Amino acid sequence: MLGQPYSEQVLSASDEGYGLVLTALGLGVGGGMMVMTLWGRRITRREAFFGAGLVVTGVSIVFAGLSSHVGAAAGWVFIAGAGTGVAYVSGFTQLHAAVTDDIRGRTFAALFAAARLALLVSFGLAGVAAAAVHGALPGLLSNGIRTVIVFAGLTIAAAGGITLWSVREQLGGEPLDEEAYRTLQEAGDALTWMRGYRPPEEV
């Protein structure tokens, strides 16, 4: 909604500049989705990738909103698109794997309906919010369009941060259960015996 006004009014870019930003976004999204598609089977921590993708997207949107040149904005938009692609594929893959077959269709239908509703609401509120906050903050954020874009980026990054916090156990690796720990201990003892040293028997 605010992409073209931001490009033309804030960055003083031409139609070609706006096209550059759109192209960067498309390439970023496509690249992120392609990487996740190619490497998806090797990725076991999809929730963590989903959260990381949201954080990358949000932070990149913030920097794009603070940019003063269309080239810099296009670069940040490309990174934001890549994060979006990663979050999209990892999120839908994890949801598909976690939801049972009997409710999968209804779950995805509800998700798509909510996404369309959120998109329509954002279209309706973005311009109004930009006009409402215009001049309310100092510096670069005195422009209402910048303010809304930066706020949106911070919101997305915060959502990603909350997601990463909720799955923080995955980031440090899953703890070993007693059986796995015993197996590793026996393997270590076997290597020690192969080297010619046998640890003393426990009393």
- Over residues 77-122, the pLDDT tens digits come to 999 999 999 998 888 888 887 888 888 888 888 988 998 898 888 8
Report how far residue 76's alpha carbon sits from residue 7's, in angstroms, rounded to the nearest whole number: 13
Asked if residue 34 is part of any domain, the answer here is yes
Asked if residue 19 is part of any domain, the answer here is yes
Give the number of domains in the chain. Answer: 1
Report how far residue 22's alpha carbon sits from residue 16's, in angstroms, rounded to the nearest whole number: 10
Asked if residue 126 is part of any domain, the answer here is yes
Asked if residue 11 is part of any domain, the answer here is yes
Q: What is the pLDDT of residue 37?
A: 82
171's tokens: 């980031």
Asked if residue 182 is part of any domain, the answer here is no
35-84 residue pLDDT tens = 888 876 676 677 888 899 999 999 999 999 898 888 899 999 999 999 99
88 burial level (CB within 10 Å; 0-12, 13-18, 19+): middle
Report how far residue 58's alpha carbon sits from residue 83's, in angstroms, rounded to the nearest whole number: 9
pLDDT of residue 192 exceeding 60, the answer is: no
Asked if residue 193 is part of any domain, the answer here is no
Asked if residue 164 is part of any domain, the answer here is yes
The residue segments making up the domain with residue 111 are: 3-176
Asked if residue 60 is part of any domain, the answer here is yes
Residues in the chain: 203
